[in-house]
Amino acid sequence: MSHLYIPENYTPLLSLRETEHAIVLIKDFFQMALSTELNLTRVTAPLFVPQGTGLNDDLNGVERAVTFPVRDMGEQKMEIVHSLAKWKRVKITDMELPRGFGIYTDMNAIRADEELDNIHSLYVDQWDWEMVIGEEDRQTDLLKDIVRKIYRCLKRTEFYLYDRYPAIVPVLPEEITFIHAEELLEKYPGDPNRPLSPRERETAAAREYGAIFIIGIGAPLSDGEPHDGRAPDYDDWITETADGRRGLNGDLIVWNSVLNSSLELSSMGIRVSPASLRRQLDMRSCPERSALQFHSKLLNGELACSIGGGIGQSRLCMYFLRKVHIGETQVSSWPEEMKRACREAGIPLL
């Protein structure tokens, strides 16, 4: 059976009806806060994109996209999106937005190769956002500034929810802690005979600080391995920063006391430049992608310089409502064994 964690004596804080109402409150409040904090205009988004254009998010580069042929377009194949990481950059370029302004959208995706557990689902819903920046903004100072603004939105949402549901007591720390993936490796090495895995390091840091942003995800660290996988053609994870480390991207992670583990709420980063795209494609042994439509535009300097990311909607609701399973805040499909185990443990999947 897929991995499932069930804490002892779990009881939802809200009823099913209260949960449905609270999900609406969270989504409405947070997206308005995000929009006004980052100067983002809401736009409509595609559910699928043409195969072979390079527009779809490749995630870690191994996940298969759900595809289907279109009869009225000569059987051309379309792909259900994994996310809109690259589509958004094209969109803000077409909209000719000025520096410091951007877009956000409701992104719905299907990730058929996802390993299903408490926080991973076949169905993915997130706020995808993208902002125009200047070439001179491509540094970690801007990245941190944007992260702090997003974190302020999280803090506001947490209080907004507590004001309506007093049982949900605020737990987010006042400030978010920034740590580079290399620092994480140095700070939490584990035992010499058993070094900690990246996930274990994340959990240790999230438990200690409450909320962290890990910078530099994708490039190899001093142990020869990246902290986590990143596709080579949206986030810039190879550029050297002012402190001599690499990476202009990262993950926003909080401590989840219900799951007794870390929980990633957002992945984001400054996007690749033509130079960093070439380097990252070479490092991942896929230089042939440079001939794809999206990549050609980028390499020719036809796309706006930008920063962007995704914020999981169901995960956010799961965290704020103190739920143990993401299926308590979204409707998806689960293995029969998992549904039975949740039912026996009193976990009401929607």
CA–CA gap between residue 18 and residue 123 (Å, rounded): 22
Alpha helices in 95-135, H assignment, sequence order: none
pLDDT tens column, 72-115: 888 888 888 887 888 999 999 999 999 999 999 998 888 888 88
CB 2 within 8 A of CB 117: yes
pTM score: 0.91
| CATH number of the domain encompassing residue 323 | 3.30.930.10
Is 6 within a domain?
A: no
Residue 251 catalytic? yes
Over range 132-151, report the average pLDDT.
Answer: 96
- Of 1-15, 120-134, 204-218, 271-285, least confident by mean pLDDT is 1-15
The predicted pLDDT at position 2 comes to 57
pLDDT(55) > 80: no
Is 37 within a domain?
A: yes
The predicted pLDDT at position 110 comes to 85
Is 7 within a domain?
A: no
Band of residue 326 on the pLDDT scale cut at 50, 70, 90? very high
Q: Mean pLDDT over all residues of the chain?
A: 91
Is 349 within a domain?
A: no
Of 121, 262, 267, 306, the active-site residue reads 267
Of 251, 273, 322, 330, the active-site residue reads 251
Q: What proportion of the chain, given as a percentage, has pLDDT over 90?
A: 67
Over range 336-344, report the average pLDDT.
Answer: 90
Residue 111 catalytic? yes
The predicted pLDDT at position 58 comes to 65
Of 31, 35, 57, 246, the active-site residue reads 57
Of 175, 177, 172, 148, the residue nearest 160 (C-alpha)? 172
> What is the four-CA torsion angle of 320, 323, 329, 332, rounded to 10 degrees?
140
The predicted pLDDT at position 1 comes to 45
Over range 10-32, report the average pLDDT.
Answer: 95
Residue 126 catalytic? yes
Is 89 within a domain?
A: yes
Retrieve residue 108's tokens.
């719905």
Of 89, 111, 271, 289, the active-site residue reads 111
CA–CA gap between residue 45 and residue 51 (Å, rounded): 16
Q: How many domains does the chain have?
A: 1
How many CB atoms within 10 Å of residue 245? 16
Is 136 within a domain?
A: yes
Structural domain of 61: 16-344
Is 183 within a domain?
A: yes
The predicted pLDDT at position 52 comes to 76
pLDDT(61) > 70: no
Band of residue 252 on the pLDDT scale cut at 50, 70, 90? very high
Of 125, 113, 126, the residue nearest 66 (C-alpha)? 113
Of 264, 289, 328, 332, the active-site residue reads 264
Is 218 within a domain?
A: yes
Over range 180-198, report the average pLDDT.
Answer: 88
- Of 11-15, 45-49, 91-95, 166-170, least confident by mean pLDDT is 45-49
CA–CA gap between residue 344 and residue 338 (Å, rounded): 10
The predicted pLDDT at position 60 comes to 55
pLDDT(277) > 70: yes
- Of 12-26, 42-56, 221-235, least confident by mean pLDDT is 42-56
